[in-house]
Chains A and B, each alone.
Chain A
Amino acid sequence: MSNGWPMRLLIVEDNVELAGLLAKGLKAAGYEADILSTIDEANTVLRTTFYAALILDLGLPDGDGLGLLREIRHRNIPMPVLVLTARGGLQDRVHGLRSGADDYLVKPFALEELIARLEAQLRRPGHLLGGVLRIANLEFDTGNRQASINGQPQLLSARETAVLELLMRSKGRVVSKKQVEDHIFGHSNDISSNAVEVYVHRLRKQLAEMEAKVQVHTIRGVGYLLAENK
């Protein structure tokens, strides 16, 4: 961990088994988690103890977790809240977010997803800072911004590097064209309409020449996605 000590999180979840498993998974990612199972307990503990973030289940034995969420917002506790719920209903998402949740995950969720969302909320580069992103035989060191294939450092232009870093950080997810644009040009206005395509095309060509076993997919009308070759 970069900070030296683990961040403390609070899990409010009435299912003891799930809470225990979450705590275990979070511990592996470098977090220390306390577990409470009722709104009442959480209200009391939050008066005296500071937590970096709250993972809140909505269906609790003594009421709706959204009540606790409103109470926290009312008391102006500056703590990101990640809501977990079994209600994947059509109107639940809007409802939960309006009540002040920072993010929302429907059960069953991937632990990896939970940690990623948590780190986004904590505005923390997480355990990837200074670390190495890896897809197939392609590696990217976020510390010195160096891409290497099969352990061999590769030479890429600054903008190609920027595109690659963004795609590798969003591994497995679609990055919109707008995001790429903002990432490599900032908010400058005079970008030619196909500038992004040009850089992606170059990067794709370079990766192929370097025999990287990855592919930059174009999702027409939406964006790009970096994935391992099949």
Chain B
Amino acid sequence: MPRFKSIISRIVILHVVAVAVTSILMSLALSWLLNYATNNIHNQAMKKQAIALAEHLEIQPDGKLKLSLTPDLQGLYSQPYGRYSYAVIDSQNRVVFSSLKDRVPLFPRDAKSGDVEFLQRNRGDATVSGASVKRVVGGQTVWVQAGEDLDNRDVLTDDIVAEFFRSVGWIILPILFILLVIDIAIFRRALKPLRQASQIAETIGPLRADIRLPTKEIPREVRPLVLAVNQALDRLEEGFRVQRDFTADAAHELRTPLSILRTRMETLEDQQVGKALLNDIEGMTRIINQLLDIAELDSFVIDPHEEADLRMVCTEVLEFLAPLALAQGKEVALVGTANSVLVRGNAEMLNRAIRNLAENAIRHTSPGSTVEFVVEENGTVSVLDDGPGISDEERDFIFQRFWRRDRGMAGSTGLGLPIVQRIAELHTATITLTNRKPRGACFSIKFARLSA
């Protein structure tokens, strides 16, 4: 059974097959019926002729039979006409009367022959078909046979049979074809609400998870599927909502106490103790922020129409990080193009990705050296450090959550690079990692450039 891609093509093909089979069977049945009917008519006519002949038989005083036919009957059975013939046979199997010159029986007769029989026999080139009727005339039993030469049969009956396929048969095909066209139209109409539902379904995405498929016009047979899809969408939306709510609640529950703690320290009388504790709070804030970021990124979706200026984002990140880098005796610099580089993406997310890369680079670079940011016109941003670089064995681990090369290293949470990777994924951006000579690593992210 071939697989059909569309319901309509399935209907068309199966319909064509059905039409072909039906036409053949119908023609066979009709021709059989027609033959049966004509044979029946012929047999009945022959029986009537035999009975009519028998009525003209009479017994003479000498005990001999006499057949006195009326002139029109004589004409009917005349040799020149040749279409009909008769024979009368007695109980000794002798042919008493016959329309044929050689006085032979039309059909062989035996003792078993009943009152009425329909028989057929080949005689010479011709096929004779007819009836044999048993009669008792004046004490003598005779069989009156009447036959018709089938080759000379009634022209009208013959014509009906012969013309049947040419005239009637060909009418069937256009009718079936029209039926097919109507069927297709009906199905197309019935499927229209499904097509409309599909168009609506195309607009559903994580950003528009509130849309549901219409069920009003949908055919009853398909409605369970549409309802099930809508229920699946409900569950998906609920999933997104739960995740978002969790992140929002967690953010509130974690950041508010931190806020209180921080403000309390800032208003402390003893500023020396306060400063040390503030450092701790800042570290903690960073970890919490990264955890919340990664939780949010799990259920985050980007509006495909958003755009961001990569160069501007880098400037913001550098402005934010420069004081921290300088405090560690390290420098940061932005090189590459001075023009704005528009890419597809969410500016805040790009900021987080680049900031995480940069924080990593600053952590690994040695004091007195510079972490360079390179922005290219093709939508690539690279962050270059002169740290130890990334060994081949580490490449498999660095993007795993909570993986850290040196667990004692301050400020590292093991979440920075997973955040970068997730953001790159969401933007279908590619991350490239190369080691620099003589030392150092270069992380590049290539975003989709917005055609100007």
Interface residues of A (CB under 8 A from B): 15, 17-18, 21-22, 24-25, 28, 59, 86-91, 93-94, 106-112, 172-174, 176, 217, 219-223, 225, 227, 230
Contact = CB atoms under 8 A, between A and B. Distances in A.
Interface string B385-403: 0000000000000000000
Contact of A220 (B264, B285, B319, B333): B333
Nearest to B250: A86
Contacts of A87: 248, 251-252
B261 interface: yes
Contact of A219 (B254, B285, B318): B318
B329 interface: yes
Interface stretch (B35-43, B148-156, B292-300, B432-440): B292-300
B299 to A, nearest CB: 11
Contacts of B348: 90-91, 93-94
B346 A88 contact: no
Nearest to A58: B252
A40 B336 CA distance: 52
5 contacts: A86-B256, A94-B348, A174-B319, A174-B323, A220-B333
A24 B322 CA distance: 31
A156 B37 CA distance: 129
A173 B322 CA distance: 8
B263 A88 contact: no
A15 B256 contact: yes
Given A25-B263, A86-B251, A219 B333 contact: yes
A24 B48 CA distance: 131
Contacts of B349: 90
B323 A21 contact: no
Interface in B351-377: 352, 370, 373
B417 interface: no
Interface string B255-287: 110111111101100000000000001000100
Given A93-B348, A108-B261, A221-B318, 18 more contacts: A15-B256, A15-B260, A21-B267, A28-B267, A86-B255, A86-B259, A87-B251, A88-B251, A88-B255, A89-B292, A90-B348, A108-B259, A108-B263, A174-B318, A219-B319, A222-B318, A225-B326, A227-B323
A91 B346 contact: yes
Interface in B231-267: 247-248, 251-252, 254-256, 258-264, 266-267
Contacts of A17: 260
Contacts of B289: 88
Nearest to A221: B334
B427 to A, nearest CB: 12
A109 B297 CA distance: 23
A112 B323 contact: no
A29 to B, nearest CB: 11
Contacts of A107: 255-256, 258-259
Contacts of A225: 322-323, 326
B252 A59 contact: yes
Contacts of A172: 323
Given A108-B285, A217-B331, A174 B322 contact: yes
B46 interface: no
B335 interface: yes
Given A107-B259, A108-B258, A217-B326, A90 B300 contact: yes
A222 B370 CA distance: 14
Contacts of A21: 260, 263-264, 267
B57 interface: no
A219 B248 contact: no
**Which of A91, A106, A107 has most B Cβ within 10 Å?**
A107
A222 B264 contact: no
Given A88-B251, A89-B247, A230-B329, A173 B260 contact: no
A175 B348 CA distance: 21
Given A25-B267, A221-B318, A223-B319, A89 B296 contact: yes
Contacts of B297: 90
Contact of B251 (A15, A89, A112, A227): A89
B54 interface: no
Contacts of A217: 322, 326, 331
B11 to A, nearest CB: 48
Nearest to B370: A220
B340 interface: no
Nearest to B423: A90
A94 B302 CA distance: 14
A18 B333 contact: no
Nearest to A111: B266
Contacts of A109: 259, 262
Nearest to A21: B263
A90 B347 CA distance: 9
Contacts of A219: 318-319, 322, 331-334
Nearest to B317: A222
B429 to A, nearest CB: 15
B317 to A, nearest CB: 10
Interface in B300-326: 300, 315, 318-319, 322-323, 326
A29 B316 CA distance: 29
Contacts of A22: 263
